[in-house]
Amino acid sequence: MCRWAAYLGDAIFLEDVIAAPSHSLIVQSRQAREARSPTNADGFGVAWYGDRPEPGLYRDVLPAWSDTNLRSLGRQIKSGLFLAHVRASTGGLTSRVNCHPFVSGRWSFMHNGQIGGFGKIRRALENSLSDTLFDQLEGTMDSELFFRLMIGEGLSDDPYGAVSRATNRVIEAARRAAIDPSLKLTAAFSDGKALHAVRYATDDNAPTLYTAAFAKGVGRCIVSEPFDRDGRTWHEIPQSSFVTMTRDNTSIRRFAPAVARLAMAG
């Protein structure tokens, strides 16, 4: 499984999350503590927001710990909203287009988890996309396809509903293919204004997710695992939760798509 970190608040240097902390995202790329595998070496990426609506994006296939450009960019780029990800592949090729975050217009998205049985339902899910969204697919990852499904389900107007409906599509496709629905979804996404996250799994065993205030209250982080334990109070996001973070507040509500509940009930 992958590791990721997102930040919203006053502008800080990217390195303050990616590289500087004692258990930074770069450290987690080779020594994760709460992942199935401690090594996340199949590429990395950062999406950050500045003065323009669309985010900047930097991705590569190198392990995050070995890319000196990432550290250099982190020392120079400041942002009040960014998403950063280190990848441990669950089957997709190691290529730049398969590295998170994925971007479409002003939206960015990153994911830790997987769609079980993806090879058996991928075609059905792709066929459910509009021609425009299908043409936007660049890689082969289940994560990117899920992001495109969210866009098609009205992400720009209804983030919670879009994730719920995309989840339902995956579960329905699995049921039609006569396989047990299996989705692990710990993801973050943003339009450059609000930061959203979801922690959900059909088996109630979703990858971890935490949130905490940043130093001196300048903003908040939401992360796969804490990047330090030095006086900061981390709060675990419960299973089946949807998080919306703005500059003024953070809300957490239950995430339980109707079709998912039916599938789990048998």
Q: What residues are annotated to the active site?
A: 2
Q: Which amino acid does the sequence have at 242?
A: F
Q: Comparing C-alpha atoms, which of 197, 165, 204 is closest to residue 183?
A: 204
Can you read off the two tokens belonging to residue 163? 């994730």
Measured between alpha carbons, how far is 29 from 15 in angstroms, rounded to an integer? 15
**CB–CB of 30/39 below 8 Å?**
yes
Residue type at 42? D
Q: How many residues does the chain have?
A: 266
Residue with tokens 């950062």: 46
Cβ of 130: how many Cβ atoms within 10 Å? Answer: 11
Q: 33 is written with which tokens?
A: 């503590």
How many angstroms separate the CA atoms of 18 and 21, rounded?
A: 8
